[in-house]
Structure 1
Amino acid sequence: MLKETDKTACKPTSTPIDPNLKLVNAEEDTAVDKEFYQRLVGRLIYLSHIRPDVAFAVSLVSQFMHQPKEVHLQATLRIVQYLKGTPGKGILFKRNRNVNLEAYTDVDYAGSIVDRRSTTGYCTFLGGNLVTWKSEKQSVVARSSAEAEFRAMAQGICELLWLKIILEDLRIKSDEPMRLYCDNKSAISIAHNPMQHDRTKHIEVNRHFIKEKLNSGLICTPYVSSQDLADILTKGLNNNIFEKIVSKLGMENTYSPA
């Protein structure tokens, strides 16, 4: 990718995306080679399956593959510049005694300037090791931050249930409830409250789904601070916070001296 984009001699960046960048359609901007852009982003999408640190940035630039402009290409090239400085970074799986399942969910409410859809991000851990992650724009416009959070929580629960089924097929069982961490106290409160509220009628399906799993003891929903692990999957971050979360995700650089 560095050779194809003529970035072999470029200066690496510390983060894959500018935290202040807000991409739009940019109709008046200069158009770029559509085939080249799609091929480059396609490679980055493939790479994001093993590099959670670039998942959000890749998800963002992939939204403009139908009509890419110069501003979109520059954002994509920044990801390549970041990768140049971190070619050996990857997830280190450590042996642990427990097989507990945990998930962190986060939402950037109405973060897209183009259509005001929210961005969902979640990551799951098995025995303290990161195993799955996702960053994507929600399919509908959320009418409230609570609705956006509930959609993210529901996706996180589905991912945990899928992992639980796989572990049971392997005859690996854990009696501990699966933990779903969320940074929205209102969403957690509504999930635990069995009363009907007019202001939450539009999210009743997700609310009942989450409440059902809570009542069965299958999951629990601890609160976590706003700067949780899933932040890296929903928004651009400054260098200090970015590196801190990347480290917590269990990513290490194999090229670093021992």
Structure 2
Amino acid sequence: MAILMKKCICFPPPGYHRKMETFVYKLHKSLYGLKQAFRQGFSQFSTALRDMGFTSSQANHSLFIQHHNGASIFILLYVDDFIITRTDSSLISVVQDQLCQRFHIKDLGILKYFLGIEVAHSKAGLYLCQRKYILDILKDSGHTACCPADTPMESHLQLNDSDGSPLDDPSSYRCLVGLLIYLTVTRPDIIYTVNILSQFMHQPRQPHMDAAYCLLCYLKATSGQGLFFSSTSTLHPQAYCDLDCASCSMTRRSTTGYCIFLGTSPISWKTKKQNTISRSSPEAEYRAMAMATCEITWLSYLMRDLGDPFIEPVPWHCDNQVAIHIATNPVFHKRTKHIEIDCHVVHEKITQSMIHPIKVASDLQIVDLVTKALDCDSFHQHASKLSFRNLQVPTGGGSLSVTTHAHTASLSIPLD
């Protein structure tokens, strides 16, 4: 997309040499690839959308929304690419005509591929995966013919920054982990492993590279696996929150994880090592609850902008009863007086009826998948509850096996 700029000062492009190297050049148009071009392009495009009656979401400034006569249209912008969706199909053609009058745009049709994410449509729902991206990673790393693995990491594997010999070329490890980080956009089943591997970017060693190769073997076996968003699923949210207490052998800090569902489909997940050392598992769980609460709060703002706010308190599943008591009853002063004040946002949101904590059995805690390395049986048991699908493994007759944490069914999904 060509965007005009009023003023821009830049250095000569690579390969262009003059005798006076101290000169800079004033551009009348932005050059694609410059740092200023992306900011100027977003500014020009967002200004045009606001002139057309769109408003920017306060939860995501790249999301533009317009409500008109009971219908809505949404535009998600990323640099010079954007996605348009709507509740009324006639609105898209109107918006496209208005944009064509101001910019040179190209209509790529129904969304099938965006930023490395493959999209498959059907009446049953929407399927997202990164199969091509995975195959490219395997090819670049030379693991196209590797033996498949059942899990992304060996059970109870403990990595540290002292065992093993340092890598001769650490850049290969850093590049590989960087590629894997983006893969977690559609693969919550590998987020824990990637989180562990990313902690050794400063000085990777051979055991770290071996663990990364094990993850590649798992990706080889599940390259076609992705997330399925059912069109018949409800829009009732629910959250799961858990931690692995003092799991880091180097710092003794706990690992926090959460997964938030909209109906039967996961829409947000994260795993992170806590910033401080907790004195007890309830305290560590309370800190984990605070992080998940902030994410639920943000999602509530986003859903409100989309026109479908959370009406009822979000069911929030936690397997630590003491942490739930601390969150609902602030009388436990001796146990909480040393905890940072921002963690007490949990009690505030419970009082405001935004979340509703529920005790769940430890063996039913889905988030164990993103907080620790599990054995094969436990891993696949929890992974089956995350609405994962594999379009490369038909169940016969062109049907696709559909498994959710609510039920199991077989649906015929013709792809566009």
TM range (shorter): over 0.9
Instruction: Verify: 1:76 aligned to 2:212, yes or no.
Output: yes
Structure 1 residue runs of 5 or longer lacking an equivalent are: none
Residue 242, structure 1, aligned to residue 365, structure 2: no
CA contact (8 A) 2:153 2:211 kept: yes
Q: Does 1:31 align with 2:172?
A: no
Q: Provide the residue aligned with 1:96 in structure 2.
A: 232
- How many pairs were matched up? 258
Residues 236-255 of structure 1 show CA distances to partners (whole Å, capped at 9, x for unaligned) of 01111111111101011111
Deviation at residue 118 of structure 1 after TM alignment: 0.8
Of stretches 162-171 and 26-35 in structure 1, the one that deviates more from structure 2 is 26-35
Matched, 1:67 2:180: no
| Other-structure match for 2:369 | 232
Q: Which residue does 2:177 correspond to in 1? A: 41
Q: How far has the Cα of 1:8 moved from its partner?
A: 2.0
What one-letter code is carried by the residue in structure 2 that aligns with 1:222? I
Residue of structure 1 aligned with 2:286, choices 150, 167, 187: 150
Contact map agreement 1:146 1:187 (CA 8 A) in 2: yes
Q: How far off its partner does 1:6 sit?
A: 2.5
Mean Cα displacement is larger for which, 207-216 or 228-237?
207-216
Shift of 1:109: 0.7
What are the equivalent positions in structure 2 for 1:137-176 lying under 5 Å apart? 137-176=273-312
Separation in structure 2 between the aligned mates of residue 158 and residue 200 of structure 1, nearest angstrom: 19
Asked whether the equivalents of residues 150 and 206 of structure 1 are also in contact (C-alpha less than 8 Å), the reply is no
- SS at structure 2 position matched to 1:124: strand
Q: Describe the shift of the 1:240–1:196 C-alpha distance in structure 2 as closer, same or farther (beyond 3 A).
A: closer
C-alpha deviations, 1:14-38, integer Å up to 9, x for none?
Answer: 0000112000112552434210000
After superposition, give the CA deviation of every residue in 1:98-134 in whole Å (9 maximum; x if it has no partner): 3212111110111000111111111111122110111
What's 2:253 paired with?
117
Instruction: Indicate the RMSD between aligned Cα atoms, in angstroms.
Output: 1.5
TM-score by length of 1: 0.95
Gap regions ≥5 residues in structure 2: 1-136, 400-416
Rg bigger for which structure?
2
Asked if structure 2 preserves the Cα contact closer than 8 Å seen for 1:104 and 1:229, the reply is: yes
Deviations 1:39-92 (A, max 9, x none): 000000011111111100000011001100000000001010000000100010
SS of the residue corresponding to residue 93 of structure 1 reads: strand
Q: Aligned in 2, Cα 1:206/1:222: closer, same or farther, shift over 3 Å?
A: farther
Q: Which moved more, 1:97-106 or 1:67-76?
A: 97-106
Q: Which whole-Å CA distance do the structure 1 matches of 2:338 and 2:156 have between them?
A: 32
User: How many percent identity over aligned positions?
Assistant: 42
Q: Does 1:251 align with 2:409?
A: no
Whether the 8 Å contact between 1:96 and 1:128 is mirrored in structure 2 is: no
More strand by share: 2
Structure 1 contact 96–127 (Cα < 8 Å) conserved: no
**Matched-pair contact (CA < 8 Å) for 2:224–2:392:** yes
Report the counterpart of residue 327 of structure 2 in structure 1. Answer: 191
Q: Deviations over 1:206-229 (max 9, x none)?
A: 563211211221210001111311
Distance 2:241 2:332 in 1: 24
1:108·1:234 contact (CA, 8 Å) conserved in 2? yes
Q: Match for 2:393: what amino acid?
A: S
CA contact (8 A) 1:191 1:207 kept: no
Q: Please, which moves more after superposition, 134-143 or 203-212?
A: 203-212
Q: Distance in 2 between matches of 1:18 and 1:99?
A: 36
Stretch of structure 1 that moved more, 203-212 or 216-225: 203-212
Instruction: Give the number of the structure with larger relative contact order, counting CA–CA contacts within 8 Å between residues 6 or more apart.
Output: 1
Question: Does structure 2 retain, via aligned residues, the 8 Å contact 1:19–1:237?
Answer: yes
The letter of the residue matching 1:88 is: G
More deviation in 1-10 or 147-156?
1-10
- Choose 71-80 or 173-182, whichever is displaced more: 173-182
Which of 190, 195, 207 pairs up with 1:54? 190
Segments of 4+ moved more than 4 angstroms: none
- CA contact 1:120–1:136 (8 Å) conserved in 2: yes
Matches within 5 A, 1:9-28: 9-27=145-163
With 204-213 and 236-245 compared, the bigger mean Cα shift is at: 204-213
Shift of 1:155: 0.9
Q: Does 186-195 or 82-91 show the bigger shift? A: 186-195
1:203 aligns with 2:339: yes
